Amino acid sequence: MERYPVFNSGQLVGYVRTFSDFVEYTHGDVAKIFLWSNDSGSLYAGNGPFYNAVYEPPTNESLAKRFESVDERINYILAKYGKKIEGKHIMADLSGGKDSTANLILLTKLREKLGFKLTAVYIHMPLLEPTENYSFVEKIASKLDVPLETATPDKNKLLYYLATQGLPKRGDRWCTYLKTRSLREVKKKIKAEIEAKAERALEAGKRYERLSSLANKGIYLNGGVINLVHDLTITEIADLLKKEGLVHPHYLQGLPRVSCRFCPYRGLYELKLSEKHEVEDEGTIDSILARTYREYYSQVSTLEEFLTYHLWRFTPSVAKLRLQEEKATLHSEKLSLDQAREMFSSLWVASRG
């Protein structure tokens, strides 16, 4: 995951990011990595098998800065793609997260200068996604004066996957298939001609490989997909959302991303913060977890360890490595939950000098 800038009294003091159950804080040339457990992280000095299995390098690459202002960006899009967009129906994928919200904001600014139909589409994943996400996307659509279409994947299909495969896992996020299918169905229903997708090159290494060429060449409409944010930095995204008053409350709470509560790519720091986020029918999730433990993890851990460390995110072999890492000798230096929250939220709450 990308590094978040950390601000103190308006001044940049470092960068913070998560990858799996590790929180990494960089100040100057010194990077400290903390292995998270419950309410704090412990300074990690090893290079163990679990660390190597889940490590993700930060995206240190950069992109050429093309525009000095939002107006410059919009005028460029207008001049280059106006004739291809005018009169079309654009469907904007909207999750309520930073990138999809920023993309929709830019599309509404383009709409002020060019005639086209714009519809935001939100796919809610029942059982897995916090219910408050639904109300926030409604707030976004209302404030930006954009019609909102909402849909949920077929509940029977969702229950089938939960019953046969358990919760989504790393490398097997079957939930993505269900969401994508629902998006295709809505696109067909509303007869949209262009789909607005919000992916940024600097967010992750794989996205950089896929998007950096388009970003550096200034290509924002590619086939039937428009993406107005692929070359933006996290700081530019934050500035745009703060100006419009559309920062998701989860960012203000210290979460680095908006996602399903049970996303397998969340680390323990994120899972701890999101414990109070309500989902529909937690009893179903509890029964799925109990069955998953009995069938696949009972030889790896105790039930308490399985639930405490959310081992369902990993294959049993990697889950075993996670427990071994936890039991390894750790340094005494700690990073508290409140300290980490302040680091991640500082981008969204502080003015900068």
Q: How many structural domains does the chain have?
A: 2
Nearest to 234 by CA among 194, 200, 259: 200
Round to whole Å and give the CA distance between 323 and 162.
Answer: 25
Residues 185 and 326 grouped into a single domain: no
Round to whole Å and give the CA distance between 215 and 212.
Answer: 5
Q: How far is CA 334 from CA 32, 47, 54, 78, in A?
A: 11, 18, 21, 51
Indicate the residue among 229, 252, 275 that finishes a domain: 252
Phi/psi at 103 (5° precision): -60, -40
Residues 96 and 239 grouped into a single domain: yes
This prediction has a pTM of: 0.94
Residues forming beta bridges with residue 90, ordered by sequence position: 118, 194
Residues 195 and 109 grouped into a single domain: yes
Q: What is the DSSP string of 140-200?
A: HHHHHT--EEEE---HHHHHHHHHHH-S-BTTB-HHHHHHHHHHHHHHHHHT-SEEE----
pLDDT at 277: 87
Question: Which amino acid is residue 256, in one-letter code?
Answer: P
pLDDT at 352: 57
Per-residue tens of pLDDT for the chain, all 353 residues: 789 999 998 899 999 999 999 999 999 989 999 999 989 999 998 889 999 999 998 887 778 788 999 999 999 999 999 999 999 999 999 999 999 999 999 999 999 999 999 999 999 999 999 988 999 999 999 999 999 999 999 889 999 999 998 999 888 889 999 999 999 999 999 999 999 999 999 888 788 888 888 888 889 999 999 999 999 999 999 999 999 999 999 999 999 999 999 999 999 999 999 998 888 888 899 999 999 999 999 999 999 999 999 999 999 999 999 999 887 766 678 999 999 999 999 999 866 55
**Runs of H (alpha helix) within the chain:** 49-54, 70-85, 98-111, 132-144, 155-165, 174-190, 205-217, 234-244, 249-252, 268-273, 282-292, 303-308, 316-327, 337-349
Q: Is residue 13 part of a domain?
A: no
pLDDT at 190: 97
Round to whole Å and give the CA distance between 118 and 266.
Answer: 32
Residues 163 and 239 grouped into a single domain: yes
Q: Is residue 10 part of a domain?
A: no
Round to whole Å and give the CA distance between 206 and 212.
Answer: 10
pLDDT at 282: 83
pLDDT at 331: 64
Indicate the residue among 191, 218, 252 that finishes a domain: 252
Neighbours of 172 (CB within 10 A): 13
Residues 92 and 124 grouped into a single domain: yes
Residues 190 and 333 grouped into a single domain: no
Nearest to 18 by CA among 6, 5, 34, 29: 34
Q: Domain with 103 in it: what CATH number?
A: 3.40.50.620
DSSP code at position 27:
E
Q: Is residue 17 part of a domain?
A: no
Q: Is residue 14 part of a domain?
A: no
Instruction: Report the b/e string of 307-338 with b at 16+ CB within 10 A.
Output: eebbbbbbbeebbbbbbebbeeebeeeebebe
Question: Which amino acid is residue 268, in one-letter code?
Answer: L
Indicate the residue among 224, 252, 280 that finishes a domain: 252
Residues 245 and 103 grouped into a single domain: yes
Q: Contact, 106 vs 72, CB < 8 A?
A: no
Residues 208 and 149 grouped into a single domain: yes
Residues 192 and 203 grouped into a single domain: yes
Range of the domain at 203: 70-252
